[in-house]
Amino acid sequence: MSQALRTYKPRQFSIRSQDGTKEIDITNSILGIDYFEDILDPVVNIAVSVINVNSIVSGLPIRGGEKVFIDIDCATGSFTRNTEDRAMYVYKVSGLESNRQAENFVLHLTTRENLTNETARCTRKYSGKISESVKTILTTVLATDNYMEKNIEETANPYTFIGSMKKPFTILTWLAPKSMAATAGSSDSSDTGSQNAEATGTSGYLFYENQDGYNFKSIDGLVSELKQSEGSSDKKSIPRYLYSGKVIKENSSDDKIIEFVFEKNIDLRKSLRIGMYSNVTFFYDAYSHEVNIYKYTLKDQIKDKKLSKDPLAISDEFGESISRVLVRPSDNGIMNAGGGTSTTGRSPADQAKSLARYNLLFTQALNILIPCNIKLKVGDIIYCQFPEMGQGGSKEIDPQTSGYYLIRELRHHFSANQNTTSLKLMRDSYGVN
């Protein structure tokens, strides 16, 4: 059996009371721990199954808001949340069952920032590059330093807005589709001098939390071969996982895909309906009362900023035909007292760009189960290799299903003799480079 499946050594799992006067260690009472990350979720969560002969919920007591310190040793490293600034917090207890022999319940944990988000509000005016506004909200409103500078990818475009008493996470996820990476091309200008223009570049960021803290990264930077958002071009560091076949040799059992299911694949009609491949934006300039028309064709702008170098799997008949029309007005003068030609800084066709980019990334979905690898996190790229099926047996490597995938969701499961990592993967192209 894989070493990663069997190795599990919980060194600490302690809960501190709300007033800080009492702390109990329930390491020997834990049946299993599940750690969750999601690239569409700004927080990480943990669910812990507990059984104990004494009453923990009433004895401590647990009423919500208690700090939890965790330290687990496994084959691929240590999972630790055992410092004051990295501790988890209890927000719910479910499935509580008590009898004469034992007490069973599930402890639900989240981060301090997730609880602070419910009480904090963005009230001021923000201006300048979107990436700088993201840092300001994280440090001043959420009052956290749980991020690395390299994980807040610089945006090319500025944007001026007012927080309007909205929650920090609401604002940060709202800013993501309006953001354009520095490598995505120039912003469109509404003053084109021509009624018809071509929208250039791509838009779309993702705001999420993983083991490295908070991330605000462009889709292009995450999936690009050079991974600009991390400043690295070393493919050797990308983990490789293989599904067993007669002609596919495994490096070790820890690199094995135990199970896999293709959850979703292409839906051409839906893609055309949302305007993923080609759309047009009618942009009304409220100051000059002019209408500019921006056509956006994804395959002309995406280029090599995707997981595979293969071209988009769409014929010219459908890929260049406009399938959705968007209309939006400019916001001239909305953020300055003098009015006039000044805008908040949004690109006229940013909605069309981000709509196409997000939907392309979520076109394919693959679920896999592998031996526990604590080093993996959402936003990482992994390589998966599958055998090509023929007459009921495996022959060669499947060049279409194999390739690079981006981790969308992740669950690390820790329990005795059963430590696994479940991954939901996605990608925006087909084939192996």
DSSP string over 33-51: EEEEEETT-SS-EEEEEEE
The alpha-carbon radius of gyration of the chain (Å, integer) is: 24
**Which pLDDT value is given to residue 191?**
47
CATH second-level architecture of 3-112? Answer: Beta Barrel (2.40)
Structure tokens at 295: 């056509």
3-state secondary structure 300-329: HHHCCCCCCCCCCCCCHHHHCCCCCEEEEE
**The pLDDT value given to residue 14:** 94
Q: Where are the beta strands (DSSP E) in 199-353?
A: 205-210, 213-218, 240-242, 259-264, 278-285, 290-297, 325-329
Q: Which residue has 């570049």 as its token pair?
A: 201
Residue 312: per-residue pLDDT: 73
| Predicted pLDDT at 291 | 94
Residues of the chain below pLDDT 70: 1-7, 183-195, 225-236, 245-253, 311, 313, 336-340, 390-395, 433
The pair phi, psi for residue 168, each rounded to 5°, is -55, -45
For strand 420-427 and strand 403-414, is the pairing parallel, antiparallel, or unpaired? antiparallel
Question: What is the rounded distance in angstroms from the CA atom of residue 135 to the CA atom of residue 402?
Answer: 37
Q: What is the predicted pLDDT for the residue at 246?
A: 44
CA distances from 380 to 174, 211, 377, 407, 425 (A): 23, 11, 6, 6, 10
Local structure of 268: helix, strand or coil? helix
Nearest-5° angle of CA 227, CA 232, CA 237?
A: 95
The predicted structure's pLDDT at residue 250: 44
Domain boundaries, the chain: 3-112
